[in-house]
Amino acid sequence: MIVAEHLVKEFRLAERKPGLLGSLSTLLTRRYRVVRAVDDISFEIPAGTKTAYIGANGAGKSTTIKMLTGIMTPTSGRCTVAGLEPYRHRQRNARTIGVVFGQRSQLWWDLSVPDSFRILRRVYDIPEPVYRRNLVLFRELLDIDALGSTPVRQLSLGQRMRAEIAASLLHDPAVLFWDEPTIGLDMVLKDAVRHLVNRAHRELGTTVVLTSHDIADIAAICDSALVVDHGRVVHQGTLQDLLRTADHRSVVFDHRD
Ligand SMILES: Nc1ncnc2c1ncn2[C@@H]1O[C@H](COP(=O)(O)OP(=O)(O)OP(=O)(O)O)[C@@H](O)[C@H]1O
Ligand SMILES: [Mg+2]
């Protein structure tokens, strides 16, 4: 269902020299450094699985998800979601996927949450019963009504995340890409979010790709794991296998005054 074949993403960064003279010389002679954020990644994620995409800060998780959601085009290699290359078919792909980037809003900054939902309903052409059913769920579990008519830019992080999560689920997408969806959420809401995604998986067979630095999120949601390190896949298998091998490792903190 989700396939990556030798996926590579490189960023070209201008090298800056310190100081005023340095800035001038940077302007005159631009030098570039290439960062390989995703370095030849291949994987297959079967439909109906819930995969944790795990890795340290800067490992390349968000960059991979940006290519899978069509926001970025790979430098080389390719990926497909339900048979489509997302960056070539952004609109068609948008109907298939639901996206949360915890670090970057997907909502309209100046609109209220109810207005955003009304627009999304038109954009996705969501049937009335589906829209109603989902709104009832979001009211109950995410207390979406409490967000009122406040523009998204004035919401707190936790309030915005509730709206982002609801927006990603509104059209019953076949695939959810959730990149740090629980940042800023308290324990009760984290629980509600886990319940929502597990429910979508159980009742609609939704495929889930999740990144989180909270192992409790991963354990409560995922059955499979894909571990990435410095842009390369270092483990793919069941979450149980990963936890079993991780059991043998320990971290020793050596503290000196
Ligand atoms: N737009 C960009 N321009 C330049 N470099 C970038 C860009 N986006 C990401 N990078 C670099 O690519 C690497 C991977 O970043 P990415 O955001 O994919 O990591 P991540 O695994 O999502 O990390 P985190 O857990 O902190 O969210 C990092 O070294 C980052 O600095
Ligand atoms: Mg990230």
Say whether pLDDT at 250 is over 60.
Answer: no
Q: If you take atom 1 of ligand 1, which residue's CA is the nearest one?
A: 11
Report CA(131)–ligand 2 centroid distance (Å).
30
Query: For all residues of the chain together, what is the average pLDDT?
Result: 91
Report CA(8)–ligand 1 centroid distance (Å).
13
Atom of ligand 1 nearest to the CA of 66: 18
Q: What is the pLDDT of residue 170?
A: 97
Say whether pLDDT at 18 is over 80.
Answer: no
Amino acid letter, 249: R
* pLDDT tier for residue 126 given thresholds of 50, 70 and 90: very high
Range 126-139 average pLDDT = 96
Q: What is the pLDDT of residue 91?
A: 87
Q: What is the pLDDT of residue 257?
A: 58
The pLDDT tens digits for 168-208 are: 999 999 999 999 999 989 999 999 999 999 999 999 999 99
Range 230-234 average pLDDT = 93
Q: What is the pLDDT of residue 134?
A: 97
36-50, 183-197, 236-250: range with lowest mean pLDDT: 236-250
Ligand 1 neighbours (beta carbon < 6 A):
11, 13, 35, 37, 55, 57-63
Q: What is the pLDDT of residue 19?
A: 79
80 beta partners: 3
Q: What is the pLDDT of residue 225?
A: 95
* pLDDT tier for residue 23 given thresholds of 50, 70 and 90: confident
* Residue % of the chain over a pLDDT of 70: 95
- Are 207 and 197 in contact by the 8 Å Cβ rule? The answer is no
* pLDDT tier for residue 14 given thresholds of 50, 70 and 90: confident
Amino acid letter, 224: S
**Counting ligands in written order, which one lies closest to the CA of residue 53?**
1
- Residues 53, 207: Cα–Cα separation, whole Å: 13
- Residues 189, 207: Cα–Cα separation, whole Å: 21
DSSP the chain: -EEEEEEEEEEEEE---SHHHHHHHHHHS--EEEEEEEEEEEEEE-TT-EEEEE--TTSSHHHHHHHHTTSS--SEEEEEETTB-TTT-HHHHHHHEEEEETTB--S-TTSBHHHHHHHHHHHHT--HHHHHHHHHHHHHHH-GGGGTT-BGGGS-HHHHHHHHHHHHHTT--SEEEEESTTTT--HHHHHHHHHHHHHHHHHH--EEEEE-S-HHHHHHH-SEEEEEETTEEEEEEEHHHHHHHHTT---------
**Counting ligands in written order, which one lies closest to the CA of residue 58?**
1
Best of 8, 9, 11 for a ligand 1 pocket test (most atoms within 8 Å of beta carbon)? 11
Q: And the tokens for 55? A: 């890795």
Range 2-17 average pLDDT = 91
Q: And the tokens for 148? A: 């009122």
**Counting ligands in written order, which one lies closest to the CA of residue 12?**
1
**Counting ligands in written order, which one lies closest to the CA of residue 60?**
1
Q: What is the pLDDT of residue 249?
A: 57
Report CA(150)–ligand 1 centroid distance (Å).
31
Range 102-120 average pLDDT = 93
Range 65-70 average pLDDT = 96
Atom of ligand 1 nearest to the CA of 62: 22
Angle between helices 157-169 and 113-124 (to 10 degrees): 20
Say whether pLDDT at 220 is over 90.
Answer: yes
Q: What is the pLDDT of residue 29?
A: 74
Question: Where are the chain's structural domains?
Answer: 2-12+36-246
Report CA(115)–ligand 2 centroid distance (Å).
28
Atom of ligand 1 nearest to the CA of 180: 27
Say whether pLDDT at 252 is over 70.
Answer: no
User: Class for domain 2-12+36-246, per CATH?
Assistant: alpha beta
Range 80-91 average pLDDT = 94
